[in-house]
């Protein structure tokens, strides 16, 4: 019995030390995502996006709430990562079109299954293309999903640039190549594609 306990302790210590040795800074990530590796936001670049963000235009608004998860396990590909997760509410002409914000209270949802998630730090020439971006325009590619139109593929990012105040964030949503179920199926997400500037609320 003592030998078994000793063996289990040694395996635990070895696995801990091996995990600590396999850390990749997401700044240097080539998006390969190797099993067992921890993709860490070493320089805290994702922190800039955490909070509640709001775009308004008359009676139309888009609210996005973003959180950061540390050392989050991705079960489908067997690695760990620091990742941004989020949900959103879109109101058009005073009518609520979609609201996924309550899902942030559900701890059983895997991070990659939130309707906003991501951690890829984009260079200016990476998709979604930003022709006006330069090296000081920081972007994070995100997965953006419409729960009622999950067949829609999107290219989306959140970002900021030096000439914007710290309390403002860019959200860019573009429609990608999608397999539309039939001729009557909507061909866009309920949040319209576009370039939004959101103001931080908290």
pLDDT (mean) for 6-14:
45
pLDDT of residue 13 exceeding 60: no
Highest mean pLDDT range out of 11-20, 71-80, 119-128, 157-166? 71-80
pLDDT (mean) for 155-176:
87
Highest mean pLDDT range out of 2-6, 12-16, 156-160, 161-165? 156-160
The pLDDT of residue 126 is 60
Of 19-28, 68-77, 154-163, the range with the lowest mean pLDDT is 19-28
Q: Please give the Cα distance from 82 to 101 (Å, whole number).
A: 21
pLDDT (mean) for 58-78:
94
- Residues of the chain above pLDDT 70, percent: 81
For 118, other C-beta atoms within 10 Å of its C-beta total 24
Q: Are 84 and 116 spatial neighbours (Cβ–Cβ below 8 Å)?
A: yes
pLDDT digits (tens, 9 = 90+) for 95-153: 999 999 999 999 999 999 999 999 988 865 565 566 666 555 688 999 999 999 989 89
The pLDDT of residue 156 is 93
Higher-confidence residue of 165 and 91: namely: 91
pLDDT (mean) for 53-67:
98
Q: Please give the Cα distance from 124 to 145 (Å, whole number).
A: 23
Average pLDDT of the chain to the nearest whole number: 85
pLDDT digits (tens, 9 = 90+) for 93-110: 999 999 999 999 999 999
Token couple for 100: 């996924």
Q: Please give the Cα distance from 133 to 83 (Å, whole number).
A: 23
Residue whose entry in the numeric block shows the structure tokens 């729960």: 147
Per the document, the length of the chain is 202
Q: Please give the Cα distance from 51 to 174 (Å, whole number).
A: 23
pLDDT digits (tens, 9 = 90+) for 14-29: 455 444 549 999 887 6
């Amino acid at each position: 019995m003592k030998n078994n306990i000793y063996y289990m302790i040694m395996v635990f210590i070895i696995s801990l030390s091996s995990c600590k040795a396999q850390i990749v800074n997401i700044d240097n990530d080539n998006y390969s995502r190797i099993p067992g590796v921890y993709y860490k936001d070493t320089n805290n670049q994702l922190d800039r996006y955490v909070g509640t963000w709001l775009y308004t235009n008359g009676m139309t608004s888009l609210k996005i709430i973003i959180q950061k998860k540390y050392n989050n396990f991705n079960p489908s590909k067997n690695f760990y990562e620091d990742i941004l997760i989020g949900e959103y509410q879109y109101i058009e002409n005073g009518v609520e079109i979609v609201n996924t914000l309550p899902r942030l209270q559900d701890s059983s949802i895997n991070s990659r299954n939130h309707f906003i998630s991501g951690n890829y730090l984009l260079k200016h020439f990476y998709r979604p293309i930003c022709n006006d971006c330069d090296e000081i325009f920081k972007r994070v590619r995100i997965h953006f999903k419409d729960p009622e139109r999950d067949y829609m593929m999107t290219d989306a990012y959140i970002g900021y640039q030096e000439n914007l105040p710290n309390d403002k964030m860019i959200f860019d949503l573009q429609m990608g190549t999608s397999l539309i179920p039939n001729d009557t199926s909507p061909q866009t997400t309920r949040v319209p594609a576009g370039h939004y500037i959101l103001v931080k609320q908290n």
